[in-house]
Chains A and B, each alone.
Chain A
Amino acid sequence: MMHEDTVLLRAGNLSKAYGNGCSRCESPEARNLEKNYCPHCGTVYALQDVSFALYTGEILGIVGESGSGKSTLMQCLYFDQPVTSGEFQLNSYKGGTVNLFEESDQVKRYIRNYHLGKVYQNPMLGLKMKFSSISNIAEKMISAGHRNVGVMQERASELLSHVNIPAFRMKEAPQNFSGGMQQRVQIAKALSNNPPILLLDEITTGLDLSVQAKVLDLIKTIRRDFQITMMLVSHDLGVIRMLADRTLVMLNGRIIEHGLTDQILEDPQQAYTQELVHSLL
């Protein structure tokens, strides 16, 4: 854990608008800084000049109220959504010298397949529910160029047993699984190509408490065993406290505060963060 000081991922002035804007909201200065929504044309400014660095080996937590842009941020970094403007560099790709948002679709696919793994809150978005768990993992491996069926099966079973899916259920389709098991299959899939970075978006939301605890345990074990760097979105400050080294606080598409997690929770600087911490204590 944390032996290097390298920045693994850097996002610079990342902005994302849903909608085309109008004369009254086009310039950032004209926009009401309190809101991320233009009442005249309906454009949502889901991310506004978001900049941050992710360091090797850390877990970076992201908190903020519903609609603050957390999922949009993860979607943009995973190329699920095109950005409006901004920069995205990965140290693991060409030494962090290129803006990945400006690269070809082919490069973006390559980054998705080899450099990133993502776990969605909704397993329906991350898994093909009717395919077996093994096929789901094989599919991700195929997209990264694997062709040897034996190798893929072996890797898939190894990962599934790592996330505690019993061997006799690996050929089953995740639609038969409980929510916690589906999240574990998603995690196994995300790990399949050994990405240096995992993006986790509300992975325990909606699960029973005891199931949540097991998924969180798994994240800790994975961090220890795979030395993987993670971004972790959660509205649950308990999860953030337990797992995140540092935390970003988002409001209306902006990062309004960042700090070591214990500092954010015990000595929040912004009124909004304080409110968030107090309301969830």
Chain B
Amino acid sequence: MKYMLKIDNLGKSFIIHDLQKHIHGCRGISLALQHGEFIGITGRSGSGKSTILKMVYRTYLPDEGEIWYDSERWGWIQLSQRAERDIMYLRMYEIGYISQFLNVLPRMTAREIIQQAVREKGSSEAEAAAEAVRMLTHFELDRELWDSYAATFSGGEKLRLNIARAMVKRPRLLLLDEPTASLDMHSKMRVRQLIEQLKREGTTMLGIFHDIEFMRGLCDREFKMNQGEAVI
């Protein structure tokens, strides 16, 4: 059986040097995602859910364990040992990450942000423009906001834009860290539709959702964390 992502005995702790402290992140995490599968991670606050996603995305470096990924370009690779350059490539073309925090560039409009994301995938100017309109419409972002700077948006507006930006890239593996945290019911349903659509298109997903019922309605399997250890 070939997997999209296979995590073996992953562990991470943070050393805060000036306080001479070790903070436990997570330990002994093993999980495997099949192609096209959607696993939801649950566990109490501080159990290490986000830490796992960030290690897959290489924002955090693991202390122990391995993260294997089936790359379209290079095949079966160990993400935590791959060159920075290759991780940049994977972030551009293969692996997406959505959190509730939008790191937008100042003075870029909502439309430009989406267009740029589409262009980075190699699409034409015209395709990018059309796709931006499609996404901004889908997420029901006020038409007046399309050409306003995203930095001035409300939390929910930023979040919708954030999701739209990650989704237009059609990543093969999408990491979702509470993407619906501050959304109203209606926007949440929009996100849900898109996640369902991505799933139909074969996107593999690993996600964290504060709304467990919402998550259970979407994911194929649940991975429960307990004190930073898996209890499947």
Which residues in B have their C-beta under 8 angstroms from that of A216?
106
Which residues in A have their C-beta under 8 angstroms from that of B108?
220
Determine, out of B3-11, B38-46, B82-90, B166-174, the stretch whose residues face the partner at the interface: B82-90
Contact of B59 among A2, A241, A266 (CB under 8 A): A266
CA distance A242 to B85 in the complex (A): 18
Number of interface residues of A (CB under 8 A): 27
Number of interface residues of B (CB under 8 A): 23
Whether the Cβ atoms of B17 and A55 lie closer than 8 Å is: no
A139 at the interface (CB under 8 A from B): no
Which residues in B have their C-beta under 8 angstroms from that of A271?
17-18
Whether the Cβ atoms of A260 and B59 lie closer than 8 Å is: yes
Which residues in B have their C-beta under 8 angstroms from that of A266?
54, 59-60
Given contacts A217-B106, A224-B116, contact A263 B59 (CB under 8 A): yes
Which residues in A have their C-beta under 8 angstroms from that of B105?
220, 242
Given contacts A242-B105, A260-B58, A266-B54, contact A274 B17 (CB under 8 A): yes
CA distance A29 to B105 in the complex (A): 45
Which residues in B have their C-beta under 8 angstroms from that of A172?
none
B196 at the interface (CB under 8 A from A): no
Whether the Cβ atoms of B85 and A5 lie closer than 8 Å is: yes
Contact of A55 among B18, B61, B85 (CB under 8 A): B85
Whether the Cβ atoms of A263 and B60 lie closer than 8 Å is: yes
Q: Mark A235-275, 1 if CB is under 8 A from B, else 0.
A: 00000011001100000000000111011001101010011
Whether the Cβ atoms of B61 and A269 lie closer than 8 Å is: yes
A58 at the interface (CB under 8 A from B): yes
Contact of A2 among B54, B58, B89, B106 (CB under 8 A): B89
Q: Mark B16-29, 1 if CB is under 8 A from A, else 0.
A: 11100000000000
Q: Which B residues are within 8 Å of any A CB, using their own CB?
A: 14, 16-18, 54, 58-61, 84-85, 87-89, 92, 103, 105-108, 116, 120, 122
Q: Which A residues are within 8 Å of any B CB, using their own CB?
A: 1-3, 5, 55, 58, 213, 216-217, 220, 224, 241-242, 245-246, 258-260, 262-263, 266-267, 269, 271, 274-275, 278
